[in-house]
Amino acid sequence: MKKITLSVGLLAGILSSSAQDTTCTMVTKDEVYKFNYYTDKYTQKRDHTKGSVFIDLTHNQVECLHLYDEVKRYRKVIITYDNGRGIYDIIPSKSNVYFISGPARIEVKRPQLFKPLR
């Protein structure tokens, strides 16, 4: 009887769980790379010289955001969730990795030498 109860509980847990898709984006001073999180090869590369980098996340998606400026810089990162809640932060970007879960829209501003006053 215990085995049946345990089996039913495990089966219900497996059926109700949902997998998360993880993507990785590396933002450098003038290029943006998209990676498959589980391999070391990039799937997309584009130049970035002006404005912000925008990343859209869907439901059950996790973003691994790697800010790589090679020297000590600061970037403004704005995360806007679907429910209207937003997070605004100024973070160091020499070589730091951040994880964000969706659904959300991420805006990464250009690097600055000195930490701005909000």
Q: Which residues of 91-109 are buried (b: 16+ CB within 10 A; e: fewer)?
A: eebeeeebebebebebbbe
* Residue 60 DSSP label: T
Q: For each of the chain's 118 residues, which pLDDT tens digit applies?
A: 554 554 554 445 444 445 567 888 989 888 999 987 777 778 889 898 888 999 999 888 888 898 888 888 888 999 999 988 999 988 888 888 889 988 999 999 888 877 766 6
pLDDT value of residue 91? 87
Instruction: State the pLDDT at residue 77.
Output: 92
- φ and ψ at 94, to 5 degrees? -65, -50
**Which residues, listed in sequence order, are joined to residue 30 by a DSSP beta bridge?**
none
Reading the block at residue 39, the tokens are: 């391999």
Give domain limits for the chain.
Answer: 19-108
